[in-house]
């Protein structure tokens, strides 16, 4: 199974990196793709440019090979719809299982995503615990009730369609908090890789 970890990464932080690694290990994924969105459609525009967000992610991923930067959303003009991303991955990988990785907060809002009903047709949904995470209601709760599985082995037996909840280390780190700290002239050290912090300070991305 290939993991698909999309995000704004404005900036990437240890909440993304540690959870991506844990899901990759827990589910024995062949690879975990990290995909920065060029234009996230269901939220306000990122503060840093697509190029800067890509550079920060590349710095964060240096020296390891389990988490892989995938630039397909950056290369695609217009809003970065996850359904388009999963379709292009499906075309590349045939019947190999795909796992779309989402924090609980993102999963709770899934029914606001473009053509969201198609997402579970194209991939499994791997929902990670997140501090302050919202309990799914409405469509997300229904997806969980209808498609939820407790045994991760089942994910490997079909290409898409199941929902699995992954327990990951609770890291109450958010990009919003880091941007707020930077704007207020406070330190963000130890919340994200030092190379990423140096980059965003040097380029005055969030001042």
Rounded to a whole number of angstroms, the minimum distance from the CB of residue 93 to ligand ATP is: 21
Q: Which of 1, 8, 85, 188 binds ligand ATP (CB under 6 A)?
A: 8
Count of residues touching ligand ATP (by CB under 6 A): 18
**Burial class, 87, CB count within 10 angstroms (exposed 0-12 / middle 13-18 / buried 19+):** middle
Q: Is 19 in the site for ligand ATP (CB under 6 A)?
A: yes
Residues in 171-190 that interact with ligand ATP by CB under 6 A: 171, 173-176
**E strands of 94-173, at which residues?**
98-103, 124-128, 163-166
SS3 content of the chain, % helix, strand, coil (to 5): 45, 15, 40
Residue 19 or 24 with smaller CB distance to ligand ATP: 19
**Euclidean distance between CA atoms 130 and 150, whole angstroms:** 18
Residue 47 or 84 with smaller CB distance to ligand ATP: 47
Tokens of 138: 């409405």
Contact code string over 134-173 relative to ligand ATP, x by CB under 6 A? -------------------------------------x-x
Tokens of 133: 């995470």
β-sheet bridge partners, residue 148 = 163
Buried b (16+ CB within 10 A) or exposed e, 29-46: beebbbbbbbbbeeeeeb
Residue 145 or 172 with smaller CB distance to ligand ATP: 172
Judged by CB under 6 A, the stretch of 11-19, 56-64, 182-190, 198-206 that binds ligand ATP is 11-19
Rounded to a whole number of angstroms, the minimum distance from the CB of residue 173 to ligand ATP is: 5
Which residues in this chain contact ligand ATP in the complex, by CB under 6 A? 7-10, 15-16, 19, 102-103, 105-106, 128, 130, 171, 173-176
């Amino acid at each position: 199974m290939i993991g698909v970890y999309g995000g704004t990464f404005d900036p990437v932080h240890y909440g993304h990196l540690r959870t991506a690694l844990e899901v990759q290990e827990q589910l024995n994924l062949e690879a975990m793709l990290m995909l920065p969105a060029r234009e996230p459609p269901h939220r306000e525009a990122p503060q840093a440019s697509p190029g800067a967000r890509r550079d920060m992610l590349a710095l964060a991923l240096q020296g390891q090979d389990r988490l892989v930067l995938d630039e397909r959303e950056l290369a695609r003009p217009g809003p970065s719809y996850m359904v388009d991303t999963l379709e292009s991955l499906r075309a590349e990988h045939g019947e190999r299982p795909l796992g779309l990785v989402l924090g609980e907060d993102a999963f709770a809002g899934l029914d606001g995503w473009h053509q969201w009903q198609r997402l579970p047709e194209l991939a499994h949904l791997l929902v990670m615990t997140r501090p302050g995470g919202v309990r799914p209601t409405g469509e997300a709760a229904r997806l969980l009730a209808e498609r939820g599985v407790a045994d991760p082995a089942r994910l490997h037996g079909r290409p898409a369609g199941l929902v699995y909840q992954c327990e990951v280390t609770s890291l109450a780190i958010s990009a919003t908090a880091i941007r707020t700290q930077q704007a207020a002239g406070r330190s963000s050290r130890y919340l994200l890789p030092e190379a990423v912090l140096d980059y965003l300070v040097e380029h005055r991305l969030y001042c």
